[in-house]
Amino acid sequence: MTQQEESLSDALPGGGKRAWLQLILSFAERLFPVYTAFCRLYQVGDVQSLRGVLDDLWSIAENGGTVTSERMGELRARVEGPIDVKAEEYFTPMAWIASNCVGCTFYALEVIVWNDPQFVDSAAHCLRTSTADYIRMTMKPLTAKQDFTGLPDEWVQSAPLFQSEVGFIRECGHIVTSVAEPAEACRRLRRLAKSSGIDPARRGLVP
């Protein structure tokens, strides 16, 4: 784990799975605009279904309570259906970023079942690598690279957008540790997650 990837799970030893769920959903929400853009460009996936699953999980994270095995099975079945974009079939970093959004949604389900904060670190890693891929993808026409992996990691990690997303991850961790009321923390995280990030439509890259 690099300095850019400090462990959130180590910083939240007593957070509990409600806080961990809120964090993972924040990272999934941050990637949702890329999932939306990819699905619209390639006519795959299911934007409305994933939006519905994320909304249901946000409701669980805000309100707390027990999630039945039947409810978990229903949520998992929805994510395993047409929502998955099968990124390996497309030679584009946008596909992998969209897939990471789905992956974070799976991590949200897993943290409910297994109560393991390591899923928070996995979801944060998804956001970091997605941001790096996004930067490489958008910079390719300017750098004349033949593939999106060509830019040095040091350059990518010093980019303002990457630093902004690292700051977003840290701010999310600060919110869940400093806001006493879990429901209020959840609402703040959701607003923050939707405020910016790697949004192709907002940045004028897709219609």
In a domain, 199, yes or no: no
Q: Say how far apart CA 201 and CA 153 lie, in whole Å.
A: 25
Residue 160 lies inside a defined structural domain of this protein: yes
Is 5 a domain residue? no
Residue 130 inside a domain? The answer is yes
pLDDT digits (tens, 9 = 90+) for 162-178: 999 999 999 999 999 99
In contact, 22 and 61? CB cutoff 8 Å: yes
CATH of the domain at 26: 1.20.1590.10
Beta carbons of 82 and 46 less than 8 angstroms apart = yes
Asked if the structure places residue 133 within a domain, the reply is yes
* Tokens linked to 104: 């974070």
pLDDT digits (tens, 9 = 90+) for 116-154: 999 999 999 999 999 999 988 887 654 444 454 567 788
State CA 31 to chain mean position distance. Answer: 5
Residue 61's nearest CA partner among 106, 102, 112, 9 is 112
Please count the structural domains in the chain: 1
- CB contact set of 158 (below 8 Å; sequence gap of 6+): none
Q: Quick: pLDDT tens for 48-105.
A: 999 999 999 999 999 998 999 999 999 999 998 888 888 888 878 899 999 999 999 9
Domain that holds residue 169: 13-193
Beta strands in the chain (DSSP E): none
* 2 assigned to some structural domain: no
pTM over 0.85: yes
Residue 3 lies in a domain: no
- The tokens describing 92, both together, are 């584009």
Q: Would residue 155 count as lying in a domain?
A: yes
